[in-house]
Structure 1
Amino acid sequence: MTKKKPLISVVLPVYNAESTILDAACSILDGTFQDLELVIVDDGSTDQTLDRLKSINDPRLVLTKTPHQGVVAAANKAASMAQAQWIARMDADDISHPHRLETQWKFAMQNKCDIISGLVSITDLSGNPVQSMRRYEDWLNSLTTHEDLMANRFVELPMVNPSILARREFFLDKCRQGDFPEDYDQWLSAFESGAKAGKTESLILDWRDHENRLTRNDARYKQGAFDHCKRHYLLSGPLLNIRKVILWGAGKTGKSWLSWLLNKGFEIPYAIDVSPRKIGQCIHGVRVISPEQLRTIYDAEIPVLAAVGASGARELIEAFMENLRCIKGKKLWFVA
């Protein structure tokens, strides 16, 4: 008799995580959604990670060990072993909340989404909130609709990788090796393909920050690598076959984007800023105008990149541009 395939396969690549792997794995297996398998690929751990995992007595655990090749190879291996048509990602140092998968599954079915995340809490390994990450956490949790996620995807990945549930095709061999953050690349590629994304408005994951986390210690997660990745997908996505762009923001971040756009051959008719000190200046040969000046001359066919980071600035720009029929995620994108 053929064994019934699970509704969800959870994939978890792990390397030397003996102190956290049991909590991570059990947070999935002990959750309210039971029709799953947990596929764990031990990427050649040299500590007690594998022994800890072997202590779990649950037929839904699928465990294999490979030579150490890195997170990309381990993640792809786990996805290739997954049986379900829906795959969820999990990391070895995080904690899924009990209703995570149940909530995401219901959201996916009700909203016909391809990629689903949810709200996260950024904590240390003891479960205490990381105050230095509070603004970032608030930003992540403020973006829940498909339109919000698409418009902000070039700021940073607006969905935490180990919180994602997605259709199988967005996982199989989609994690690429390179000098870039593999998760950001994976999901920017999925967004570019036209996938519909969304978030449940409930807390689903404790994303645990610590000094040994891979994203803190690998060159692939440095700012320059993120910039290269987001600019690659801007050129192949929203800016494909576009030669004229308006830039909102003439501060430090805006100037960096302005230089890049000009170097790529884009025509920038003007930049926009609210600072009286900057309005009227020419930066790299581009005139800076005020939002009120833009109101009288804006051409709705020209896309807008908003390179601002001040608290509340993106929301104000979104509202202003919406009045000019420039809609976020279609003609307006936020960058950082």
Structure 2
Amino acid sequence: MKAPSISIVMPVYNSSRYLSESIDSILSQTFSDFELIIIDDGSTDGSREIITTNYKDSRIRLIKNEHNFIQSLNIGMTQSKGKYIARMDADDIMLPERLQMQYHFMEENPDIDISGTWMQVFGDMDGIWKNTTASDEIEVQAILHSPLYHPTVILKRSIITQFPLVNDTNQVYNEEYIYAEDYQLWTELMKRGYRLTNLPHVLLRYRKSEGQISRQKQTEMQNTTLRIQTEYLEYIMDKIAKLDEDYYNMLDHSITLCNKGKVHFIDLQKIVYIIASRVIPGSSVHQ
């Protein structure tokens, strides 16, 4: 059987309230050459029954896993067969042309390894969320925050084979960075030389609600985010020093002041961000 062009990976955990709306938006895509891998992450609210009872589409593959969100993601990634992998969350909504536009973009831009999009936020919050689209600016933007919106992402499947196997599952997402595992993955991939970008189009409706993990686990997510930013800042500072050694003393002094508590970490981030925007080729200051 011919492998699909795209594998959509969607973990599901107690998502019965919005699950049908999410699946319907996938099955209504203008692009049809895909498989939908749904990983039941130990749901107890009837989510699994909604899938098995209401959906008979042969493109859907349902996998059961014990409750472990990171490993459910990794299982879905490992089990994918497509040339590309698209991420999706069980309470979000794909706009009809999402897969079509992302597939053609990736095919026409083989130098790009991972691509996100802009998205419309709805529910507890309304608005259009945008990230920068230039790869070099994304590398700098990641100093301050995650440069891609996770449920909008499509990436080359060949990337996941670069991660170690544990129990026959590629460890693409790292359990040590739970609640910000995507941010850590983007920074790790940039360190390895992969190129990231964003399409300047709204292709997903992202639901903000009180029940989301990121709202319930704010403190842990903030601590993990700080760890990611600290590690990535070290990488960027080293890169700056190699590109222009004149900045070495300035960066070294800034780190010393931060360690002594005379400069806040967020101020150190801003200093490095401004310097990186001027030194790293192709980037520019982009607040």
User: TM-score, normalising length from structure 2?
Assistant: 0.81
Match of 1:22 among 12, 20, 24: 20
Structure 1 gaps of 5+ residues are: 248-257, 267-282, 286-303, 309-313
8 Å contact kept, 1:148–1:329: no
Mark the CA change 1:198 to 1:204 in structure 2 (over 3 Å): closer, same or farther: same
Mark the CA change 1:118 to 1:33 in structure 2 (over 3 Å): closer, same or farther: same
8 Å contact kept, 2:131–2:147: no
Deviations 1:2-31 (A, max 9, x none): x00001101011110001111112211210
Map residues 125-140 of structure 1 onto 2, 5 A cutoff: 130-131=125-126, 134=127, 137-138=128-129
**1:175 is matched by which residue type in structure 2?**
Y
Which structure is higher in RCO with an 8 Å CA cutoff and minimum separation 6? 2
Give, in angstroms, the shift of residue 110 of structure 1: 1.6
More helix per residue = 2
8 Å contact kept, 1:41–1:74: yes
8 Å contact kept, 2:143–2:269: no
My pick for the range that moved more, 175-184 or 220-229, is 220-229
Specify the alignment match of 1:160 in structure 2: 149
Specify the alignment match of 1:8 in structure 2: 6
Specify the alignment match of 2:224 in structure 1: 225
Map residues 1-336 of structure 1 onto 2, 5 A cutoff: 3-54=1-52, 55-68=54-67, 70-112=68-110, 113-124=112-123, 130-131=125-126, 134=127, 137-138=128-129, 141-171=130-160, 172-180=170-178, 181-218=180-217, 222-239=221-238, 242=241, 244=248, 246=250, 261-262=255-256, 284=262, 306=270, 326-328=278-280
8 Å contact kept, 1:157–1:184: yes
Give, in angstroms, the shift of residue 170 of structure 1: 3.4
SS at match of 2:171: coil
8 Å contact kept, 1:114–1:196: yes
Deviations 1:111-157 (A, max 9, x none): 221111111111117xxxx24xx5xx54xx15111122111012111
Q: How many residues align?
A: 265
Give, in angstroms, the shift of residue 221 of structure 1: 5.2
In 1, distance between residues paired with 2:281 and 2:14?
40
8 Å contact kept, 1:116–1:200: yes
8 Å contact kept, 1:305–1:334: no
Instruction: Give the ranges of 4+ consecutive aligned residues of structure 1 lying more than 6 Å apart after TM superposition.
Output: 263-266, 329-335
Structure 2 gaps of 5+ residues are: 161-169, 242-246
**1:244 is matched by which residue type in structure 2?**
Y
In 1, distance between residues paired with 2:69 and 2:219?
12
Deviations 1:156-212 (A, max 9, x none): 112110100001143442101015521111111112111112222221111110011
**2:248 is matched by which residue type in structure 1?**
K
User: Which is higher, the Rg of structure 1 or of structure 2?
Assistant: 1
Give, in angstroms, the shift of residue 36 of structure 1: 0.4
Aligned-residue sequence identity (percent) comes to: 25
Specify the alignment match of 1:276 in structure 2: none
